[in-house]
Amino acid sequence: MTKQLSIYVYGAEQLCASCVNLPSSKETYEWLQAAIERKYPEQPFKIEYIDIFNPPEDEAKKEFANRVIEEDLFYPLVLIEDKIVGEGNPRLKTIFSEMEKYGYHSAS
């Protein structure tokens, strides 16, 4: 059985300055969730959206949200486990490639 991956999408209501013509962070989160469910049906994963300006109480998530702000990282920022796999305009190919390192297999 494949280990359940934790995928985090860090973002904000407002678009980052370099991402003006791109979807919002929340839209990217929803799109990514649907794409992963289609690609890896019945394979466990947890995906969570985290607002960088209003993060949850979890200390690690708060710290990373603060890092996104302080280091001017592009968002939405996609994190799988502890690895950044996408910034600004995340690429499915990169995200899928990282998931496959953990044993995920494409349905098609």
pLDDT tens by residue, 33-84? 999 999 999 899 999 999 999 999 999 999 999 999 999 898 899 999 989 9
Question: Is 107 within the bounds of a domain?
Answer: no
Question: Is 19 within the bounds of a domain?
Answer: yes
* Residue 2 predicted with pLDDT over 60: yes
Question: Is 108 within the bounds of a domain?
Answer: no
Question: Is 3 within the bounds of a domain?
Answer: no
Number of domains comprising the chain? 1
Question: Is 77 within the bounds of a domain?
Answer: yes
CATH number of the domain residue 82 falls in: 3.40.30.30
Residue 8 and residue 61 in contact, taking contact as beta carbons nearer than 8 Å: yes
Task: Return the pLDDT at 58.
Answer: 94
CA distances, 66 to each of 35, 40, 61, 82 (Å): 28, 31, 9, 15
* Percentage of the chain modeled with pLDDT above 90: 74
Type of residue found at 32: L
For residue 14, name the pLDDT band (cuts at 50, 70, 90). confident
Task: Return the pLDDT at 15.
Answer: 64
Question: Is 105 within the bounds of a domain?
Answer: no
* Residue 96 predicted with pLDDT over 60: yes
Look up the pTM and report it.
0.90
Question: Is 84 within the bounds of a domain?
Answer: yes
Question: Is 48 within the bounds of a domain?
Answer: yes
Mean pLDDT of the chain: 90
Secondary element (H or E) of residue 62: helix 59-70
Q: Which of 103, 107, 108 is nearest to 45 (CA)?
A: 103
Q: Which domain holds residue 86?
A: 10-100
